[in-house]
Amino acid sequence: MKAIAFDSFADYRALSEAACARLLALVRRKPDAVICLATGATPLLTYQLFVQAVKAQQLDVSQLTFVKLDEWVGLPANAAGTCETFLQQHIIQPLGIRDAQYIAFDAETADERECARIVDRIALRGGLDLCLLGLGKNGHLGLNEPAAFLQPSCHIARLDSQTRQHDMIKHAGLAIEHGITLGLRDILAAREVLFLVAGDGKQRAFTTFCEGKVTTELPASLLWLHPDVTCLYDGSSFPSFSTN
């Protein structure tokens, strides 16, 4: 098992360009790759650059499968703040991804059967080749929230108070208390993890993560158990951090 590879970038755009290059390399290497995608501000520019590059280079994405990492429970799928709307706007529709190429939670019928359906569909595709993740301000991965213990598999999660203030849902006009998410076992089963860290309010979580100690109080720390993780971080957001 190798240690997590850290890469610092001068700014958010440089980080996004590097992450985009990693996605493009995977598509060229494995045109039928299964890629799990996080949503939110951190990966946004990566996805925009990826779409631009796919079109400019006329890459064939007809065999790819995209997997939605998580979703808020209680919002209509087409609401402005959903992960579904985010991915539809920035990946699925711009690339012309067919329904058969997209594995996504139906958060309006979120239950154990929906969790099992998603896990089964991923398995039928041969598992995740790449899981692209961001760091939550409270250290969560997907919607695996800090706690005394974690549910390993895909599950319905109760959101902690900080996550309930997430930018994606704070203007929804509804009190969102639950989400549906791949579990840490599902994430760690990915052949490769690309971990993007950028944005305000994450200094404490990232500093703790970099200590290399594994704790359920910081779900992101479980990435230290994975054999192939690359962490790309915005050095302008974390100027005091050093991997040395």
Q: CA-to-CA distance for 16 and 183, rounded, in angstroms? A: 25
State the pLDDT at residue 243.
Answer: 53
166 carries an active-site annotation: no
State the pLDDT at residue 63.
Answer: 98
pTM above 0.85, yes or no: yes
What are the backbone angles phi and psi of residue 152, rounded to the nearest 5°?
A: -70, -30
How many CB atoms lie under 10 A from the CB of residue 12? 20
State the pLDDT at residue 107.
Answer: 76
User: For each of the chain's 244 residues, which pLDDT tens digit applies?
Assistant: 457 999 999 999 999 999 999 999 999 999 999 999 999 999 999 999 999 999 999 999 999 999 999 998 988 888 888 999 999 999 999 999 999 999 999 877 788 999 999 999 999 999 999 999 999 999 999 999 999 999 999 999 998 877 666 666 665 667 788 899 999 999 999 999 999 999 999 999 999 999 999 999 999 999 999 999 999 999 998 866 655 4
Q: CA-to-CA distance for 58 and 55, rounded, in angstroms? A: 5
Structure tokens at 195: 């971990």
Inter-residue contact 156 to 110 (CB < 8 Å)? yes
177 carries an active-site annotation: no
Inter-residue contact 72 to 83 (CB < 8 Å)? yes
- From the candidates 70, 71, 129, 192, give the one annotated as an active-site residue: 70
Strand order in the sheet with 130-134: 5-9, 229-234, 192-197, 130-134, 34-37, 65-68, 102-103
State the pLDDT at residue 164.
Answer: 60
β-pair type (178-181, 70-73):
antiparallel
State the pLDDT at residue 242.
Answer: 56
- From the candidates 90, 140, 155, 226, give the one annotated as an active-site residue: 140
Query: Which residues 6+ apart lie within 8 Å of 206 measured at CB?
Result: 135, 197, 233, 238, 241
- From the candidates 129, 145, 186, 234, give the one annotated as an active-site residue: 145
State the pLDDT at residue 124.
Answer: 98
144 carries an active-site annotation: no
78 carries an active-site annotation: no
In 3D space, the residue among 170, 177, 185, 176 whose CA is nearest the CA of residue 128 turns out to be 185
State the pLDDT at residue 147.
Answer: 94
Q: CA-to-CA distance for 162 and 224, rounded, in angstroms? A: 24
Q: CA-to-CA distance for 176 and 133, rounded, in angstroms? A: 22
Inter-residue contact 214 to 224 (CB < 8 Å)? yes
First-residue to last-residue Cα distance in the chain: 19
Inter-residue contact 132 to 19 (CB < 8 Å)? yes
Give CATH for domain 5-234: 3.40.50.1360
Q: What is the dihedral of CA 127, 159, 4, 48, to 10 degrees?
A: 70
- The number of angstroms, rounded, from the C-alpha of 118 to the middle of its chain's C-alpha atoms is 15
Give residue for tokens 């995608």.
37
- From the candidates 71, 138, 186, 234, give the one annotated as an active-site residue: 138
- The number of angstroms, rounded, from the C-alpha of 76 to the middle of its chain's C-alpha atoms is 21
Q: CA-to-CA distance for 27 and 34, rounded, in angstroms? A: 10
State the pLDDT at residue 1.
Answer: 45
In 3D space, the residue among 221, 233, 205, 219 whose CA is nearest the CA of residue 142 turns out to be 219
